[in-house]
Amino acid sequence: MSASQERYATIAIILHWVIALMIIGQIAGGIYMHNLPATSLKFELYQWHKSFGITILLLSFARLAWRLSHKPPPLPANMPDWERLAARATHIGFYVLMIGMPLAGWMMVSASPKDVPTVLFDVIPWPHLPGVPRSEGAEDLFAEIHKILAFMTVGLLVLHIAAALKHHFVNKDDVLAGMLPLVKKRG
Ligand code: HEM
Ligand code: HEM
- Tell me the per-residue pLDDT of 74-126, one tens digit each, with 9 for 90 and over: 999 989 999 999 999 999 999 999 999 999 999 999 999 999 999 999 999 99
Its domain, for residue 34, covers: 10-179
Count of CB atoms within 10 A of residue 41's CB? 11
Q: Is residue 144 part of a domain?
A: yes
What integer is the mean pLDDT of 24-39?
Answer: 97
* pLDDT more than 70, % of the chain: 95
CATH code, 26: 1.20.950.20
Measured between alpha carbons, how far is 127 from 118 in angstroms, rounded to an integer? 7
Q: Is residue 3 part of a domain?
A: no
* Class of residue 13 by CB neighbours under 10 A (exposed 0-12, middle 13-18, buried 19+): middle
Ligand 1 midpoint to CA 52 (Å): 10
Give the C-alpha distances (Å, rounded to integers) separating 96 from 10, 47, 63, 152, 176: 23, 24, 12, 11, 22
Count of CB atoms within 10 A of residue 8's CB? 20
Q: Which ligand is nearest to the CA of 20?
A: 2
**Residues paired with 97 in a beta bridge:** none
DSSP 70: S
Q: Is residue 1 part of a domain?
A: no
Q: Which ligand is nearest to the CA of 102?
A: 1
For the cut 70, the answer to whether the pLDDT of residue 177 exceeds it is: yes
185 pLDDT band (50/70/90 cuts)?
Answer: low
pTM of the model: 0.95
Measured between alpha carbons, how far is 88 from 178 in angstroms, rounded to an integer? 16
pLDDT in the model for residue 1: 36
Ligand 2 midpoint to CA 53 (Å): 19
Residue whose Cα lies nearest atom 22 of ligand 2: it is: 20
Task: Name 175's Cβ contacts closer than 8 Å, sequence gap at least 6.
Answer: 75, 76, 164, 167, 168
Q: Which ligand is nearest to the CA of 57?
A: 1
Q: Is residue 39 part of a domain?
A: yes
Q: Is residue 5 part of a domain?
A: no
Measured between alpha carbons, how far is 39 from 114 in angstroms, rounded to an integer? 16
Q: Is residue 184 part of a domain?
A: no
Count of domains for the chain: 1
Query: Within 6 Å (CB) of ligand 2, which residues are found?
Result: 16, 20, 23-24, 67, 72, 87, 91, 94-95, 98, 157, 160-161, 164, 175-176, 178-179
Q: Is residue 152 part of a domain?
A: yes
Kind plus residue range of the DSSP H or E element containing 162? helix 136-165
Measured between alpha carbons, how far is 158 from 57 in angstroms, rounded to an integer? 22
Mean pLDDT rounded to a whole number for the chain: 93
Instruction: Kindly give the number of the ligand 1 atom that is closest to the alpha carbon of 150.
Output: 10
Tell me if 175 CB under 6 Å of ligand 1. Answer: no
